Amino acid sequence: MEKFIIKGNAPLHGEITVSGAKNAAVAIIPATILAKGRCVIENVPDISDVAILLEILEHLGAKTHRLERNTLEIDTSAVDCNEVPYEFARAMRASYYFLGALLGRCFEANVSMPGGCNFGVRPIDQHLKGFTALGAEVVVDGGMIRASSNRLVGSHIHFDVVSVGATVNVMMAAVRAHGITIMENVAKEPHIVDLANFLNSMGADVRGAGTDVIKIHGVDLLRPSSYSIIPDQIEAGTYMALAAACGGNLLIKNVIPKHLESITDKLVAAGAEVAEYDDSIRVAGSPVINRVNVKTMPHPGFPTDMQPQITALLCRAGGTSIVTEGVWEGGRFKYIDELKRMGANISVDGKMAVIEGVPRLTGARVRATDLRAGAALVIAGLCAEGVTEIENIEFIERGYECIVEKLRGVGADIQKVLVPDAEAVRPAQ
Ligand SMILES: CC(=O)N[C@H]1[C@@H](OP(=O)(O)OP(=O)(O)OC[C@H]2O[C@@H](n3ccc(=O)[nH]c3=O)[C@H](O)[C@@H]2O)O[C@H](CO)[C@@H](O)[C@@H]1O
Ligand SMILES: C=C(OP(=O)(O)O)C(=O)O
């Protein structure tokens, strides 16, 4: 087990380059099996979630090869298995994208219930509703989701809630269904659009991605293609929040500024200066952080995956800020207790965190309770006085490529060290 040791308060200046989007990569990699043959995917983040997906692909019979650190060659010609067992699925959420992908490839999928960050209940009823509407028989049995069909047929599906996962999963099955599928009340996140663009590059006919309604004309055959994944909105947003929190000045490269608008808006309200360029963004933090209220919403609202990071910034704001979780029922606030160990003054009331700004945070021993919670602790540690030790960093490494190297490159004093067994805290629940 490893941990981060951070000495806070170092001035952060320079350039940081954002990697490919985790949540696009984890959809596009399973989608490669919809075609038989060799896909080349560029700008793939080198993170543990991707490594697990590649293991799953190999288990299914695909051959995967890293042409370069961020370029993958995936040959799906020999995929001959439709089962993703528990040992692969338990570590991550997106393992369940093999349901839609396998249904689309061979009309049968047996995939273990997924893991991923635990913010309380993460239902999959909308995924199953979509597969059923396409004519699949779906059974959940002994921890496995089993979906099969002699023939998928296009359908009109109105989702009860806006779900990224259900939109991705059902889109992947629908591209191979006979006839037209209309999906209403779908997610509009940048990774939805990226997946649709990838599917279209393989010969699918998906229209409307990025709006509330997606229309798909099913096709009999998809062909392999080469594709480059979009930059990671949340990684970019995390480094933007870091610059704002630490009074740093960072040029964040390889971004799509349009994807960052809701984040930019709140950072400017908090007092940061933000300058947008074609594919980079500069954030200069102010010594005085203003109080700001934030409510997370599906895209184009403020992303829930930035909720912990903006909370870390607001810990030192002048006055009271309210952060409301508008996506996840459970509130996603497990990390608040860790921030409080660092001197933050936050109370949680249902889906609301009330943050009374404090003049300073102090280093402490804390643990990441999930991926973005871990990112928030890195931000807090980098602007705290003294030394912060963050344990359970495997959560952070699910989604941030080379975070230590990138942060050291802009002046942060952060290192990754081994935790002696005797010192390790129990893992997050
Ligand atoms: C791999 C990936 O892309 N993960 C992201 C994805 O997760 P994920 O795809 O799991 O999140 P969803 O968009 O599905 O969830 C949104 C809301 O819908 C509810 N819901 C979802 C599915 C369902 O069948 N029934 C249902 O009620 C959930 O409980 C939640 O309240 O989108 C979330 C919301 O932007 C992000 O926090 C995650 O980082
Ligand atoms: C929650 C996240 O991911 P996942 O859905 O894969 O757990 C995230 O990216 O913040």
Q: What is the pLDDT of residues 187-204, one digit of tens each?
A: 999 999 999 999 999 999
Domain check: are 294 and 412 in the same one? yes
For residue 231, give the nearest of 278, 165, 169 by alpha carbon: 278
Predicted pLDDT at 333: 95
Using the predicted structure, report yes or no on whether residue 211 has a pLDDT greater than 90: yes
At 71-91, the pLDDT tens digits run 999 999 999 989 999 998 888
195 plus 220 within the same structural domain: yes
Residue 429 lies in a domain: no
Residue 428 has what pLDDT? 46
Catalytic residue flag (residue 117)? yes
Q: Give the Å distances, CA to CA, from 338 to 120, 204, 367.
A: 18, 46, 7
* Range(s) of the domain holding residue 316: 2-18+231-423
Q: Is the CB of 330 under 6 A from ligand 1?
A: no
pLDDT at 90 (0 to 100): 85
Region 167-182: what's the mean pLDDT? 98
pTM above 0.95, yes or no: yes
Choosing from 174, 203, 228, the residue where a domain stops is 228
Q: Going by C-beta distance under 8 Å and a sequence separation of 6 or more, which residues neighbour residue 376? A: 308, 309, 311, 312, 335, 339
ipTM above 0.95, yes or no: yes
Nearest to 202 by CA among 185, 219, 223, 183: 223
Residue 341 pLDDT greater than 80, yes or no? yes
Q: What is the pLDDT of residue 114?
A: 86
**8-state DSSP, 424:** P
What is the DSSP code (8-state) at residue 353? E
233 labeled part of a ligand binding site: no
For residue 283, how far is its CA from the centre of ligand 1 (angstroms)?
A: 29
Q: What is the CATH number of the domain that holds 131?
A: 3.65.10.10
Whether residue 415 is contained in a domain is answered as yes
Q: Are residues 241 and 214 in the same domain?
A: no
What is the rounded radius of gyration, in angstroms, for the C-alpha atoms of the chain?
21
Confirm whether 428 is domain-assigned.
no
pLDDT-derived band at 19 (thresholds 50, 70, 90) equals very high
Q: If you average pLDDT over residues 307-336, what whole number do you get?
A: 95
Tally of domains in the chain:
2
pLDDT at 169 > cutoff 70 = yes
Res 425: pLDDT: 55
Q: Alpha helix locations (H) across 74-146?
A: 86-89, 97-106, 125-133
- Considering the domain architecture, whether residues 303 and 402 belong to the same structural domain is answered as yes
Which among 19, 23, 329 is the best mutation to test ligand 2's pocket, defined by most ligand atoms within 8 Å of the CB? 23
Q: Comparing C-alpha atoms, which of 254, 256, 263 is closest to residue 299?
A: 263
- In the prediction, which pLDDT does 413 show? 98
What's the average model confidence in pLDDT over 301-306? 98
Q: Is the CB of 164 under 6 A from ligand 2?
A: no
Domain boundary among 181, 210, 228: 228
The predicted pLDDT at position 120 comes to: 74
Strands 156-158 and 205-207: unpaired
Q: What's the CA gap between 216 and 200, in Å, rounded?
A: 10
pLDDT of residue 92: 86
* pLDDT band at residue 164 under the 50/70/90 scheme: very high
Q: SS3 of 54, please?
A: helix
* Pocket flag, ligand 2, residue 260 (CB < 6 Å): no
Same domain? For 99 and 140 the reply is yes
Mean pLDDT, residues 119-147 taken together: 93
Residues 185 and 332 in one domain: no
- Percent of the chain scored above 70 by pLDDT? 98
pLDDT at residue 303 is higher than 50: yes
Domain boundary among 228, 252, 268: 228
**What confidence tens digit (pLDDT) does each residue in 239-252 have?**
999 999 999 999 99
Mean pLDDT of all residues in the chain?
Answer: 95
Contact 232, 259 (CB under 8 A): no
- Asked whether the bond before 300 is cis by omega within 30 degrees of 0, the reply is yes
Q: Is residue 47 part of a domain?
A: yes
Nearest CA residue ID for atom 6, ligand 1: 164
Nearest-atom index, ligand 2, CA of 26: 6
Verify whether ligand 1 is closer than 6 Å to residue 126 (CB atom).
yes
Same domain as 384, residue 318: yes
In this structure, the strands spanning 387-391 and 365-367 are: parallel
Residue 369 belongs to some domain of the structure: yes
According to the model, what pLDDT value does residue 424 have?
Answer: 63
168 assigned to some structural domain: yes
Place of tokens 């890293």: 66
Q: Is 278 annotated as a binding residue?
A: no
